[in-house]
Each structure stands twice: as C-alpha cells, then as structure tokens.
Chains A and B, each alone.
Chain A
Amino acid sequence: MSYYVIGVGGTGAKCIESFIHLCAAGLMPDSKSLFCLFVDPDGSNGSLKRAGELLQTYHDCKQLQLGATDLFKSGVRIAQPDIWSPLQDKPARLDEFFNYNILEPAAAHLFDVLYSPREKQTSLEYGFRGHPSIGSAVMASAVKLGGEEPWASLRNQISLDVGTGEGAKVILFGSIFGGTGASGVPTISRLVSNEFKSSKLRQDRFKIGSVLMLPYFSFDPVKSERLRVDADTFLLSTQSALNYYHSQHELKVCNAVYLLGSETLKPMRTSSIGGQGQENEPHLLEMYAALAALNFFGQESVEGYPLVARELQSKTRWSDLPYDSGFADLKKRINQLARFSFAYLSSYYPMLESINDTGRGYRAPWYINFFSRRGVDLKDSITKELKQLKSYCESFLLWLANIEQSQTGDNVDEGGHLINFNAFATTTTDENGKPTVVLRDPNDFSLSHYGNLLLPITANYPKGLSELWETMSDIRIKDPKADGVGRFVRALYDACGKVKAEDS
C-alpha cells in the first residue's frame, strides 16, 4: 500500500507537521513511502513554511543508512513543487481570476449574486480569508489532475499503485472553519476520487479519507484588513460548512472522514491574515489528526462512526490518545524519540563538535567505535548529516513542548498533561507580550530528567543519561544495512530504548 498525504491550508500543513513527527517515531503501519503535498494559495504562510522545512529535514535524515529500525521508518516523496497554489501564475483577485470583465452578462450577473464587491476585489495572495465560497470556486477551477505538476505526478503515481495492485490510500488534512481547508478538502477529495473510483477493482485498491479540523484555536482579529478571518465566526462557519457538506453529500466520496474539535479555543500567539506572520504554534489536536491518519492507513477499512474523547475534562492523558496497537505503544515510541532527541542535543552532538574542534576522541568510546574505527569523516558529517539530525531533533522537542503547552497554557502548576517539557523548553513572552515556547540552550537542559520526559512521573532516573553513555560505549549494531553516520544514529536510538526510563 502506498500512502499519500495532502495538507490543505495552514492547518493542513500543521497536521502534516504532526504526522511527520509520528512517522519519525515509527508509528506508520509499514515502511512504504509517503507522498506529501501542501496546497495553499499563500505559499509564504509561516506554518506552511515550518512544515515544509520539517518535511525536507525528515527527507534528509531518511538518507541516513539506519538499517531496519523504527526511526524515520517511512520513506517520503516530496511533491515537486512541494507547495501548490491554485493562484500560481494567475491573478490573485477573484474577479481577475475568472476574467469577470469579459464574462457574458448572464454569467457576470450570477457572479455578482454569489460574491460581494469586496470579495471580488480583495487580494487573495494570503489565502481565501476564511471564505470557502471563494476557495471552492478557485480550487475547482485550478486543480487539474491531468495537467500541471504536482497533480500530474500524483495522478500517475496513484494510477501506478492502483494498476499494479499495490493500492493507494490518500488522506487530506484541512480545517473547515477557515477558507482554504473548508473549500479545498472536499473539492480535491472529489476530484481525486472521481479519477480513481470509476471501477469496482479500483475502488478496492484506492481509498480516500479526510481529516477535518473543527475550531480549536482563536486569534485576535487583524483590524487593518476589511476581508479577514474572524475567530468569532468560526463556529458559525463550521456549522454552515458541515450543513453544506451534509446536504450536498460533499464528503460521500471519502471512505473515512475524521472530525476533530475542541470545546475551548486556544488563543494563538500571532494574528495575521497570512504570510510569514501566520505561523501558529502546534496544538494537541493536530497530533490527534495525525493519529486519525495513522488509523486510516493502518485499518483495512474504517467502519461506522468511531468516537474518541478524553476521560477527564481537565486533563489529557496518554491513555486518551487513540492508537491501534494501544496507547502504551504510542507512548513508548514517542518517549524513545524524545529521549533520543534530548540525548543527541544535550550530549552527543556537543561532544562530536568538541571532538571535531579539539580532538581527544578517547573521551567518547562510541565515537571511536562508530566514527574513528569505521572511517566515518566527522568533519564532513558534522556539517551535513549530523547537523540535519540536530535540526530534526530540535523541531521534534519544540513540537512536543508546544503540544504540552497547548493544553497546559500558562498553568504550569497544574502538573502538566503529557510531556515534561520544562526539561528542555521554557515559556517566555515574545515582543507582543504573548507566551511563546522556546527550546532551552542544550547546556541548560535538565539532564537529570532524561528518563522522565513524559508524564506522569512515577519514578526518577537521575542518572539515565549517564547510563545511556555507558550503553552507547558498549553497544554493537549487527544490522549490515546500518552504515556510516547512520550506524551511530541507529545505535543511539536503540540505546535510548534500552536504558531504564519512565515507561521503557
């Protein structure tokens, strides 16, 4: 089975971000490759940019020769171009996009009925401004599966998978309280589905699902903009969208639809109509979205209307998170990747940098075993693979911290929900006085918390990192496919799973 993930809009991109982290932790059902595509009219959107960079980092890390391991298990194929905009090389105003001035009178009048003058004339450079009516028209007109890239490649690849019997599963992420996701998800679902569900055989080999995000965050309105997304209308927009999807059977093409929402809207740090300023921090609900995608990919077919909800109103616990092989497995894998990232950033990368600068490799027996004796060029790899891995580990820990912060908020005294993020991150205030989570300098990581990165803490492992160092000094990797820097990374990841820690 081949897997395809399409993130529509800023929220869709953030869901892909969570999904990539879960893939890095080895939570995909198998190691088959994943095709990723972002759809957004606002290519400079900060959240999209962050997700795109993460995808590229994952792709780079996947080049490491790790052998058979869960770490970075899934291969990724990034669409070319990775971000597709329906407004690419086209006018960024609705009236110009549809050549309003030269429309026949009847069509022009219909256009006038459907869109207000403000809607017709506002620049769509930063997206559809929370207006799905604009997005639907633009999307339906612009997406051509047989035409431009990346749609042509997507279609050819799915055709190949379906034709050879490999099978293909496509999932779309998007919000339904904004403009891009609400219009893009049903439109793209329908277009892709129509292409591949024409015969019974194809129906068996092709499945499509959607993850639709109901309101879960809010932000202050951008007062300078006349046509804008307004968090106050999120619920109303959602209700309208759901009613519309229901009455028009918009989502009937999907084999599975996941709807996720939260009764409390988390205020986002930034308020922006789009562009780089629209970089919203990750949220727990996006992790749920990624878990929904894993459920879709992992199940032969999703039947009925599965419901998940957390047990306690005031607290999210690991046991609340849905994962096919059980929450304990999910927690264990996230924990292993968290410990790996923590150890790599706090100890292993700094030591490798120090050896690169001053020599004295004898200080780190694992360096002698995995670099020196195997002829791995540290000078070269510290600027390439090891740096890319550092970048990934930073993204992962920051993502984890934000996931926790999205639940804890500023009430750190509550005891937290899922992640003991104070061990590696801290909450500060940005220039606008809003709380923001930043990664600590690795020198300031709370090293004694290495074994207690996830909550709840039931026992302390104050020397966990020291034990890891000892394990790393002796560890042997028998996998012949693990080679070069990948062999060291594999060893560290395996060792992180061996050393005693919370839930190991």
Chain B
Amino acid sequence: MDKLKHIGLIVGMAFVFFIFALLIIYVEDPFLDSKVTTGANILMDEWRQLFRYWAVFGISTAVLAALIWYAWGQWTVNLNDWTKANKKRIVWLLFLLLPCCAFLMGWLLTPPIQEGAIFVTAFYLANNLAVYLLATVFFSPSSFKYTPWGAVTLRRGW
C-alpha cells in the first residue's frame, strides 16, 4: 500500500513534467516563432532547438528538485521529534539551488536575440517555477504535504 502511494506521487510529478514538456514543444515554441527575431549569426530553427533544449533542461531540473525533496522528506527525515516538522526552508532552498540555477543557465546560454527576449525569460522562469511548485504542492511526501507554498489551499483529497 505504501509502495503504491509512493509510486502514485512520483508518477504525479512525472505527469507534471510531461505536461510542461508538451507545453514547451506545442505551445511555447510555436508562439516564440512569431515573437522572436534572432540575430544574424543563428538561424531561427537552430535557436528554437536550443530554446527547447534549455526549457526542457529547466523543467527536468525542477522535477529533479521535487524528487529530491520527496526522497529526502519521505526516507531521510525522522519525524519522531515533532520539532523537526518545519521544512519550509528546505523547499525554498531546493528551488533556489536547482530550478533557479537552471533558469539562469538557460537564460545565459541561450543565444541572444533581437526581439522577444521578455517572452523567453518569462517562459523559462514560469516553466521551472510552475513545474517545481505543482510537483511539490500536489505530490510532496505525506508528512510534509502542506509545507510547499499554496498546498494548504490546493492539495485536497490525498
């Protein structure tokens, strides 16, 4: 029963990743095609490929951070002592360490463009933030299910 619960929650995180991967490929990428103007040194198709790469890298890092949070909260923390129940800082620290770094990497390593940079930045940031938040808000370990910001309001029923 416990195993099924863990599998269910981890699959939930994978599902969030999958949805955002599809969003990047089928919504954001075509959208940027009409908004972005690349420089002379790179073709639009090459730039879009790099965008997809760094966007997917960003959400992969975000879901990895969520998985690390899950594994750490579920199998490492010993809650025999109730005073150790506050792990809010860990959630934010993981977010700052991984999804934010991934955002910075994508932002810095994607070739510069002449127009539409604001959309690219917004997508990188929103994707990483949303994947990490959704994965942790809905699929955190039971003992910390309401620790992520917004989980008290959003996570219901499991």
A residues with a Cβ closer than 8 A to B are 346-348, 350-351, 354, 360-365, 368, 372, 447-448, 450, 462-466, 469-470, 473-474
Are A473 and B145 in contact, with the CB atoms below 8 A? yes
CB within 8 Å for A347 and B145 given contacts A362-B151, A362-B152: no
Which of B78, B85, B141, B158 is A363 in contact with, Cβ under 8 Å?
Answer: B85
Are A363 and B147 in contact, with the CB atoms below 8 A? yes
Interface of B is mostly: loop
Give the Cβ gap from A52 to chain B, nearest Cβ, in Å.
Answer: 33
Give the Cβ gap from A499 to chain B, nearest Cβ, in Å.
Answer: 11
Which of A348, A363, A462, A469 is B86 in contact with, Cβ under 8 Å?
Answer: A363
Q: Which 5 A-B pairs have the closest CB atoms?
A: A466-B79, A362-B146, A447-B80, A363-B85, A473-B142
Are A463 and B80 in contact, with the CB atoms below 8 A? yes
CB within 8 Å for A360 and B86 given contacts A470-B142, A473-B143: yes
CB within 8 Å for A450 and B147 given contacts A362-B88, A364-B85, A473-B142: no
Give the Cβ gap from B141 to chain A, nearest Cβ, in Å.
Answer: 8
- Cβ-closest chain A residue relative to B147: A362
Give the Cβ gap from A278 to chain B, nearest Cβ, in Å.
Answer: 39
Q: How many A-B residue pairs have CB under 8 A?
A: 57
Which of A350, A368, A447, A469 is B143 in contact with, Cβ under 8 Å?
Answer: A469
Are B143 and A365 in contact, with the CB atoms below 8 A? yes
Are B79 and A470 in contact, with the CB atoms below 8 A? yes
Are A351 and B142 in contact, with the CB atoms below 8 A? no
* Interface magnitude class on chain B: 20 to 34
Give the Cβ gap from A420 to chain B, nearest Cβ, in Å.
Answer: 16
| B77 proximity list for chain A (CB < 8 A) | 466
Are B79 and A469 in contact, with the CB atoms below 8 A? yes
Given contacts A350-B82, A362-B147, A470-B142, 9 further A-B contacts (CB under 8 A): A364-B85, A365-B142, A365-B143, A365-B146, A448-B80, A450-B80, A466-B80, A469-B143, A470-B79
The complex places the Cα of A348 from the Cα of B151 at a distance, in Å, of: 21
Are A465 and B80 in contact, with the CB atoms below 8 A? yes
B residues with a Cβ closer than 8 A to A are 5, 77-82, 85-86, 88, 141-147, 151-152, 158
Are A365 and B145 in contact, with the CB atoms below 8 A? yes
Interface of A is mostly: helix
Give the Cβ gap from B115 to chain A, nearest Cβ, in Å.
Answer: 43
Can you offer 27 A-B residue contacts whose CB atoms are under 8 A? Answer: A346-B82, A347-B82, A348-B82, A361-B152, A362-B88, A362-B146, A362-B151, A363-B85, A363-B86, A363-B147, A364-B82, A364-B85, A365-B146, A372-B152, A447-B81, A448-B80, A462-B80, A463-B78, A466-B78, A466-B143, A469-B143, A470-B79, A473-B142, A473-B143, A473-B145, A474-B5, A474-B142
Q: Which among A363, A447, A474 has the highest number of chain B CB atoms within 10 Å? A: A363
The complex places the Cα of A469 from the Cα of B152 at a distance, in Å, of: 17
Give the Cβ gap from B72 to chain A, nearest Cβ, in Å.
Answer: 14
- Cβ-closest chain A residue relative to B5: A474
The complex places the Cα of A364 from the Cα of B77 at a distance, in Å, of: 14
Are B147 and A465 in contact, with the CB atoms below 8 A? no
- Cβ-closest chain A residue relative to B142: A473
| A363 proximity list for chain B (CB < 8 A) | 85-86, 147
| A348 proximity list for chain B (CB < 8 A) | 82
The complex places the Cα of A450 from the Cα of B82 at a distance, in Å, of: 13
The complex places the Cα of A288 from the Cα of B143 at a distance, in Å, of: 40
Give the Cβ gap from A443 to chain B, nearest Cβ, in Å.
Answer: 9
